[in-house]
A and B are shown apart, each in its own frame.
Chain A
Amino acid sequence: QSALTQPPSVSGSPGQSVTISCTGTSSDVGSYNRVSWYQQPPGTAPKLIIYEVNNRPSGVPDRFSGSKSGNTASLTISGLQAEDEADYYCSSHTSINTYVFGTGTKVTVL
């Protein structure tokens, strides 16, 4: 199972919006609305920020939103803040009941 494809890095100024893409196949991202997103600051465990494509767990700011079209899911961070600087990973359930993560994207706040 190949990793889902994400851009290595994205950047933006405070207050701007950034979008991270996550491209898979018809056997994972394209098959199910079971895409989740995780935020990982350096040296810490990942934190769930989006599940089932566009749902936010309690406590996650509404600046984070998700969407999906075909085999590509996206995470948008609106109103970028300094505390959003971290690595972000997407994840998808697959047709053989396994999971796959994305390659990861480093978000830099300029």
Chain B
Amino acid sequence: QQQVKQSPQSLIVQKGGISIINCAYENTAFDYFPWYQQFPGKGPALLIAIRPDVSEKKEGRFTISFNKSAKQFSLHIMDSQPGDSATYFCAASSVSGTYKYIFGTGTRLKVLA
């Protein structure tokens, strides 16, 4: 019940295209859902985050869509650029717990020039 399932494992997108990464969770106590971007040899960096009281959040080219009833959320990267090539992790946490993050397994994105 603590798992966060992430798909796809890897993704190849043409420059200018839309990258879509999906996550699903079981624990209804989760109430904070961040997305992190990680480059090789670096720590994860926060991209964007959402709470379940909104269905969508947009920051620049990055959008999170959230479906509370389906317990799913997704990251959309619009106008994908080669510099977006990285591994993306979704995560979930609960303010009623320790706030520890449960991470998905990651999606390796490659954007072709």
A and B interact: no
